[in-house]
Every structure is written in C-alpha cells, then in structure tokens.
Amino acid sequence: MQKAFIIFSKHQRGRNRLNVSTVNNLVLVSANTKSIDDLDIRECVNLFLGKKGGFYGVWAQPNSILQTTEALNVGTKVITFYEEYFNISFPLPKQDMIAVPDYPLGAMENWGLITYRETAMLYDDKISTEDNLAHVTIVIAHELSHQWFGDLVTLKWWDDLWLNEGFATFVEYMGTDHVHPDWKMFDLFPIGDMYDAFEFDSVKSSHPIYVPVENPDQINEIFDKISYSKGGSVIRMIRYVLGEETFRHGLINYLNGLKYQSAVHDDLWNALQKVAEKEGKKIPYTVKDIMDTWILQMNYPVVMVTRAKTGLMVEQKRFLFNKDSNTTEKFQSPFNYIWKIPITYTTSSEMNFDKPGDSVKWLTTQSQG
C-alpha cells in the first residue's frame, strides 16, 4: 500500500488525486477476509454525550464486557471535560474504545476508535487494585487527549512528534485530575514523568525534543522519554510562566486555528505569544525565544544558588551524569547549552512557589547576581 500510495504515510493534510496504471488483461478481484471466531467482541453500551451530541461506546470480548464499566465512566467524563477546556466539541458522531486481546501496544489513538491492550482498559472492582484503576484512567485520558492533539491537529512531520506525545503526556494529568481530584495528579508529575526525563536526558547520547527525522528507523527511535516526558515537562513549564488562563486561551487559539490541518512547533509558540500579548503578560522574552532553548538543544541545566553580599548569585550549567564519557555527541547545541530559565522563589514565612507570571525571575546567561 505505501509503495503505491506513498502520501498516506505523510502527515500533511490535503486532497490528492491518485492514478494507478495496470496491465489491461488483469482481473480485479476483491480480497475476502476469513471469519475469525476467537476475536469475537460485543458492544457493551452507547451513551449520548457532548456539546453537539454523539455516542460513546466500549467494546470487549463477551467474558470481559462487565469490566468495561469504569472505562465508560472515565471516558465520558474526560471527553466532556476536554470539550469544555479546549472549547472545541468532539467533531465525530461517535467515539468507541475497544479492548483487544494480545494487543502489541499499550493503546492507539485512532480517531473515533481507540484500541487498547486489555490491561489498559478493563477494570474489575472486585479483584483489581487501585494501581490498576490509576493505570486505566491515565491511559484513557492520554488517548482521548490525542483526539485533539494529534488527530484534530496533526504534526506536520515526525520531527515534531512531541507536539502529539508531549501534549498527551501533560494533558493526561488534566483529564485524570478532573475524574479523581483527590489523587492530586499535578503533585505527582515530577515523579511520574519529569524525573524520568532527567535520567534519560542526562547523557551525551540524548537528543533534542525537536529532532530531524529522515528515515523510518529514526521515527521509532524518538518514541521515548524525550518526546513524551520531557515534552510534557516543558509544556508544564510554559503553563506556569504564562499562567493557567493565558495558557488555556493560547491552546484554544492553536487548536481552532489549525483544526484539520498540520502544525509545527512555531505555530504553538505564535498562538501562545499572541494571547500573552493580548492579556498583558509581562514577560521579557517571546515564547519562541524561551522555548527554543528547551526544544532545540538536548540535556538540561542544573541551577546553583549561592549567597552574595547583596543578595544571591544564580548560575546554570549543563548537567551530564558522566561528563567524561567518550560517547560521540550526535547533536550540537545552537545555544551553547545556555537555557532561558524561569525562576520563582519563596521564603520561610511565605512558603509559596506558585507565583504569577510577572513574579518570575529569569536566568538567561551562565551566571547572574
């Protein structure tokens, strides 16, 4: 199929005319798919939901159908929350989720028909653990977020894979927090994803979030902690810099402006920048200037703070787990491993790091005092 219709493997959206030439003595024959009894599935229930209406269904094998109740409950709540948060109705007439036996992936965000490994969708409240419940909820929230980030707006090419997976990683915390606010999901983000990114990105063999992709092997290589966990972490960072409402309004503009189209990371920066300016955010650098230092160079800084006579001296330095490693670095930094770092601080009497954007201090050179 890909050799005949190569455009199908590309992300850019558009209408194409396909012409296929064949020898005139060939006979057209349709391929008949044989019946496969052991993949029998049965619909559990369809629920009407959403701003514009629609049906939400869950599917599983007959002996597992009673274990889909939680998936239906979580899915309907999450998709309604995403509709409201992003101010965009789910555009399809239905959304189905199917638990597939022996599915090789955790899940796949096919638009309107998400496929799951059974352990990522089925839950039995009589024998399953709280950890099982958390896993099912998080995976469903992740895959449903892709209906907006990945399906409604698609990355233009694989080099911006993080626009899909980094956003899904971050937004899964939002969806899960909506369903289970008592879990305090955002408090778990550092240990759930950020620390994983720290470990994976602490070596010379790492790669930037945005990375050139020229062959299929490179595509597979970047489905890793950089695209997912580090991508989600830098999104979390810019959310704090801009503030929740400005961040949300920027995402609404990004999704509405590019729905049914393809995007690159500069499209996201431009959408956030326009809203930041409109809402009077006092940030000394553009969103692009800040975020390019985080997605176009690999690794991350360690920030050191020391007391000075009149205040504090703050320094940044590229962190490597083994700086003496002989590993050849495939990627070179366009910023000489200097990042634009937003910094907030608190005091023993205040004990509050969650400051508004105009309270953020910036470290943009190797050291500042």
The answer to whether the Cα torsion of 164, 169, 174, 175 is positive or negative is positive
| Beta strand 42-48 pairing with 55-60 | antiparallel
Residue whose tokens read 């920027």: 250
Q: Of how many residues is the chain composed?
A: 369
| Cα torsion through 29, 31, 32, 38, rounded to 10 | 180
Q: What share of the chain is helix, strand, coil (3-state, %, to 5)?
A: 40, 15, 40
Annotated binding site for Zn(2+): 142, 146, 165
| Beta strand 107-108 pairing with 301-308 | unpaired
Cα distances from 62 to residues 41, 59, 301, in angstroms, run: 6, 9, 52
- For residue 342, the surrounding DSSP H or E stretch is strand 341-343
Distance of CA 316 to the CA centre of its chain: 27
Would you call 143 a catalytic residue per the annotation?
A: yes
Q: Which residues neighbour 211 within 8 Å (Cβ) at sequence distance 6 or greater?
A: 159, 218, 222, 226, 331
CA angle 221, 143, 193 (to 5 degrees): 60
From the list 111, 198, 214, 213, the residue with the least C-alpha distance to 162 is 213
Q: Give me the catalytic one of 84, 143, 199, 277.
A: 143
| Cα torsion through 167, 246, 344, 265, rounded to 10 | 40
Catalytic positions: 143
